[in-house]
């Protein structure tokens, strides 16, 4: 494909990109703050995964296998960051669960570490001292909450209260639908009696 100028790039002395304009079709490295979220138990069982960058199913299981191998083998009292394939993985262990988030190398690690803690606090508030079993039996709830916290790999809401309010509103909606359904089936049942 002929282009006189394929792309325009402005980079500062510090290596920061100031301007990019692509005229040829280049595939770019996925730009996302958090590439994926991963919850693994100490036994290496996956408890939750959420992918913000496109990974195929095959890549997903490979990533999980590789990362849980690295993270589970790290001793205590080490730092919470791992460098992995050009990315950084921020992880933190809560009881028997490891919460991991994958970010770009240049990103702020501590910030992400606190997003993890923020998420755990919200889970804790929702379930009332959360434990691994809560997440096994109600893994869909964990997804709902995560979706209220992160979208597109970016933090959406930093207030615990707001998230809690939204989740309980959702629960009410589901309950209402259920009641409605059961009342309809009652009516049908009574009508057919």
What minimum distance in Å lies between the beta carbon of 180 and other proteins?
Answer: 9
3-state secondary structure of 56: coil
Q: How open is the CA angle 102-93-118, to the nearest 5 degrees?
A: 70
Residue of the chain from 1, 129, 140, 191 that contacts other proteins (CB under 8 A): 140
190 binds other proteins (CB under 8 A): no
Residues 76-115 that bind other proteins (CB under 8 A): 77-83, 86, 105-106, 108-111, 113-115
Given 136, 184, 188, 189, the residue binding other proteins (CB under 8 A) = 136
Q: Which of 1, 17, 25, 190 binds other proteins (CB under 8 A)?
A: 17
57 interacts with other proteins by CB under 8 A = yes
Give the HSE-up count for residue 126: Cα atoms under 13 Å, Cβ half-sphere: 30
Of 81, 138, 103, the closest CA to residue 30 belongs to 103
| Pair 64, 86: CB distance under 8 Å | no
Stretch that binds other proteins, among 73-81, 95-103, 123-131 (CB under 8 A): 73-81
C-beta of 95: minimal distance to other proteins in Å? Answer: 16
With respect to other proteins, which residue has the nearer C-beta, 106 or 191? 106
Q: Report the site for other proteins in 163-182 (rule: CB under 8 A).
A: 166, 169-170, 173-174, 177-178, 181
Region of 30-38, 95-103, 123-131 interacting with other proteins (CB under 8 A): 30-38
Q: What distances in angstroms separate CA 106 from CA 7, 86, 112, one per listed residue? A: 23, 10, 12
Q: Which of the ranges 39-47, 95-103, 124-132 carries the binding residues for other proteins, by CB under 8 A?
A: 39-47
The residue from 6, 41, 72, 118 that contacts other proteins (CB under 8 A) is: 118
- In terms of Cα–Cα distance, which of 129, 133, 156 is closest to 144? 156
Residue 141: which residues within 8 A CB-CB, separation 6 or more? 126, 127, 167
Q: Would you state the structure tokens that stand for residue 164, as one six-digit string?
A: 């809690």
DSSP 33: S
């Amino acid at each position: 494909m002929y282009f006189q100028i394929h792309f325009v790039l402005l980079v500062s002395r510090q290596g920061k990109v100031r301007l990019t304009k692509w005229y040829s079709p280049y595939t770019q490295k996925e730009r996302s703050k958090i590439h994926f979220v991963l919850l693994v138990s100490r036994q290496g069982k996956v408890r939750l995964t959420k992918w913000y960058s496109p990974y195929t199913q095959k890549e997903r299981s490979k990533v999980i296998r590789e990362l849980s191998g690295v993270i589970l083998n790290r001793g205590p009292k080490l730092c919470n960051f791992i460098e992995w394939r050009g990315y950084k993985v921020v992880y933190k262990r809560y009881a028997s669960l490891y919460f991991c988030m994958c970010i770009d190398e240049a990103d702020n690690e501590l910030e992400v570490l606190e997003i993890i803690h923020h998420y755990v606090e919200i889970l804790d508030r929702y379930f009332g001292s959360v434990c691994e079993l809560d997440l096994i039996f109600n893994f869909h709830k964990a997804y709902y909450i995560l979706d209220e916290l992160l979208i597109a790999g970016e933090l959406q809401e930093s207030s615990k209260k707001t998230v809690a309010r939204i989740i309980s509103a959702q629960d009410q909606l589901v309950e209402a639908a259920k009641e409605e359904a059961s009342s309809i089936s009652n009516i049908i049942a009574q009508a057919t009696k």
